[in-house]
Amino acid sequence: MYNREKQIIVSLITSILILGLYSLYVFNKYIEGNPDILNDFKFWGKAFLILIPVSVIAQIIIHIVFAIVNKITTNEDIPTISDERDKLIELRAIRISHWLFLCGFLLSMGSQAIGMLPGVMFITLISSGFVASFASEIARIYYYRKGF
Protein backbone atom coordinates (compact mmCIF):
# COMPACT_ATOMS: atom_id res chain seq x y z
CA MET A 1 0.00 0.00 0.00
CA TYR A 2 1.33 3.42 -0.94
CA ASN A 3 1.83 6.23 1.52
CA ARG A 4 -0.93 8.29 -0.07
CA GLU A 5 -3.45 5.48 0.49
CA LYS A 6 -2.26 5.03 4.07
CA GLN A 7 -2.73 8.76 4.62
CA ILE A 8 -6.30 8.57 3.33
CA ILE A 9 -7.12 5.60 5.57
CA VAL A 10 -5.67 7.43 8.58
CA SER A 11 -7.74 10.47 7.67
CA LEU A 12 -10.85 8.30 7.34
CA ILE A 13 -10.36 6.63 10.72
CA THR A 14 -9.56 10.00 12.31
CA SER A 15 -12.78 11.57 11.02
CA ILE A 16 -14.85 8.64 12.32
CA LEU A 17 -13.14 8.80 15.71
CA ILE A 18 -13.40 12.57 16.06
CA LEU A 19 -17.08 12.74 15.17
CA GLY A 20 -17.89 9.63 17.24
CA LEU A 21 -16.07 10.82 20.35
CA TYR A 22 -17.32 14.39 20.03
CA SER A 23 -20.91 13.21 19.58
CA LEU A 24 -20.57 10.94 22.59
CA TYR A 25 -19.16 13.78 24.66
CA VAL A 26 -21.89 16.21 23.62
CA PHE A 27 -24.58 13.59 24.16
CA ASN A 28 -23.39 12.68 27.66
CA LYS A 29 -22.78 16.26 28.75
CA TYR A 30 -25.73 18.13 27.24
CA ILE A 31 -28.36 15.97 25.55
CA GLU A 32 -28.83 13.02 27.91
CA GLY A 33 -30.59 14.92 30.66
CA ASN A 34 -32.14 17.59 28.46
CA PRO A 35 -33.28 16.35 25.01
CA ASP A 36 -35.08 19.64 24.34
CA ILE A 37 -31.69 21.26 23.83
CA LEU A 38 -31.65 19.62 20.36
CA ASN A 39 -34.04 22.33 19.20
CA ASP A 40 -31.97 25.15 20.65
CA PHE A 41 -30.14 27.09 17.92
CA LYS A 42 -27.57 28.40 20.41
CA PHE A 43 -26.59 24.84 21.34
CA TRP A 44 -26.10 23.84 17.69
CA GLY A 45 -24.16 27.01 16.94
CA LYS A 46 -21.73 26.24 19.77
CA ALA A 47 -21.55 22.56 18.83
CA PHE A 48 -20.58 23.39 15.22
CA LEU A 49 -18.12 26.12 16.21
CA ILE A 50 -16.32 23.83 18.64
CA LEU A 51 -16.34 20.78 16.33
CA ILE A 52 -14.49 22.57 13.49
CA PRO A 53 -11.29 23.59 15.38
CA VAL A 54 -11.28 20.36 17.40
CA SER A 55 -11.47 18.37 14.18
CA VAL A 56 -8.75 20.41 12.43
CA ILE A 57 -6.33 20.25 15.38
CA ALA A 58 -6.92 16.51 15.90
CA GLN A 59 -6.35 15.81 12.19
CA ILE A 60 -3.07 17.76 12.23
CA ILE A 61 -1.81 15.99 15.36
CA ILE A 62 -2.76 12.53 14.08
CA HIS A 63 -1.12 13.18 10.70
CA ILE A 64 2.10 14.31 12.37
CA VAL A 65 2.07 11.19 14.55
CA PHE A 66 1.36 9.06 11.47
CA ALA A 67 4.26 10.62 9.55
CA ILE A 68 6.64 9.93 12.44
CA VAL A 69 5.44 6.34 12.93
CA ASN A 70 5.56 5.70 9.19
CA LYS A 71 9.11 7.03 8.96
CA ILE A 72 10.24 4.85 11.86
CA THR A 73 8.55 1.67 10.62
CA THR A 74 9.04 1.88 6.84
CA ASN A 75 11.82 4.50 6.54
CA GLU A 76 9.76 6.23 3.83
CA ASP A 77 8.86 9.90 3.78
CA ILE A 78 5.30 11.05 3.29
CA PRO A 79 5.07 12.64 -0.19
CA THR A 80 5.06 16.40 0.17
CA ILE A 81 4.31 17.18 -3.47
CA SER A 82 0.89 16.89 -4.99
CA ASP A 83 1.20 16.08 -8.67
CA GLU A 84 -1.33 16.30 -11.52
CA ARG A 85 -2.80 12.85 -10.77
CA ASP A 86 -3.25 13.69 -7.09
CA LYS A 87 -5.01 16.94 -8.03
CA LEU A 88 -7.27 15.18 -10.51
CA ILE A 89 -8.23 12.54 -7.96
CA GLU A 90 -8.81 15.27 -5.40
CA LEU A 91 -11.13 17.11 -7.79
CA ARG A 92 -13.14 13.97 -8.57
CA ALA A 93 -13.46 13.17 -4.87
CA ILE A 94 -14.53 16.75 -4.08
CA ARG A 95 -17.19 16.56 -6.79
CA ILE A 96 -18.68 13.43 -5.20
CA SER A 97 -18.53 14.98 -1.75
CA HIS A 98 -20.21 18.21 -2.91
CA TRP A 99 -23.08 16.31 -4.54
CA LEU A 100 -23.64 14.24 -1.41
CA PHE A 101 -23.55 17.28 0.83
CA LEU A 102 -25.95 19.07 -1.49
CA CYS A 103 -28.38 16.15 -1.17
CA GLY A 104 -28.04 16.33 2.62
CA PHE A 105 -28.58 20.07 2.57
CA LEU A 106 -31.76 19.67 0.50
CA LEU A 107 -32.98 16.94 2.86
CA SER A 108 -32.36 19.19 5.86
CA MET A 109 -34.24 22.05 4.21
CA GLY A 110 -36.99 19.60 3.30
CA SER A 111 -37.30 18.59 6.93
CA GLN A 112 -38.00 22.22 7.81
CA ALA A 113 -40.41 22.62 4.91
CA ILE A 114 -42.57 19.80 6.25
CA GLY A 115 -42.48 21.24 9.76
CA MET A 116 -40.03 18.96 11.53
CA LEU A 117 -38.06 20.15 14.57
CA PRO A 118 -34.88 22.24 14.04
CA GLY A 119 -32.83 19.46 15.63
CA VAL A 120 -33.62 17.23 12.64
CA MET A 121 -32.17 19.82 10.28
CA PHE A 122 -28.90 20.10 12.20
CA ILE A 123 -28.54 16.33 12.62
CA THR A 124 -29.13 15.90 8.88
CA LEU A 125 -26.53 18.59 8.13
CA ILE A 126 -23.88 16.98 10.36
CA SER A 127 -24.68 13.51 9.01
CA SER A 128 -24.52 14.62 5.40
CA GLY A 129 -21.22 16.41 6.06
CA PHE A 130 -19.83 13.22 7.53
CA VAL A 131 -21.18 11.00 4.73
CA ALA A 132 -19.80 13.40 2.11
CA SER A 133 -16.36 13.40 3.72
CA PHE A 134 -16.43 9.60 4.11
CA ALA A 135 -17.47 9.07 0.49
CA SER A 136 -14.80 11.48 -0.69
CA GLU A 137 -12.06 9.50 1.07
CA ILE A 138 -13.42 6.18 -0.23
CA ALA A 139 -13.53 7.64 -3.75
CA ARG A 140 -9.92 8.76 -3.45
CA ILE A 141 -8.81 5.26 -2.42
CA TYR A 142 -10.84 3.81 -5.30
CA TYR A 143 -9.28 6.13 -7.88
CA TYR A 144 -5.76 5.57 -6.55
CA ARG A 145 -6.19 1.81 -6.76
CA LYS A 146 -8.27 1.37 -9.89
CA GLY A 147 -7.01 4.30 -11.92
CA PHE A 148 -9.10 6.25 -14.41
Q: In the chain, how long is the greatest CA-to-CA distance?
A: 57
Number of residues this chain uses to bind another protein (CB under 8 A) = 12
Name the phi and psi angles at 21, rounded to 5: -70, -40
Provide the minimum distance between the beta carbon of 14 and another protein in the complex, in angstroms, as a whole number: 21
- Nearest approach in angstroms of CB 140 to another protein is 12
Nearer to another protein (CB atom), residue 134 or residue 143: 143
Using CB under 8 A, which of 29, 53, 84, 114 touches another protein? 84
> What is each CA distance from 62 to 67, 93, 103, in whole angstroms?
9, 22, 30
Task: Mark the segment that binds another protein (CB under 8 A) among 52-60, 82-90, 94-102, 121-129.
Answer: 82-90
Residue 2 near another protein by CB under 8 A: yes
Decide if residue 75 touches another protein (CB under 8 A). no
Q: Which long-range contacts (CB under 8 A, 24 or more apart) does 94-103 make?
A: 94/136, 96/132, 96/135, 96/136, 96/139, 97/132, 97/133, 97/135, 97/136, 97/139, 98/132, 100/128, 100/131, 100/132, 100/135, 101/128, 101/129, 101/132, 103/128
User: Closest approach of Cβ 79 to another protein, in Å?
Assistant: 5
Does residue 146 bind another protein (CB under 8 A)?
yes
Q: Of 52-60, 76-84, 111-119, 130-138, which segment contacts another protein by CB under 8 A?
A: 76-84
Q: Which residues bind another protein (CB under 8 A)?
A: 2, 4, 79, 81, 83-86, 144, 146-148
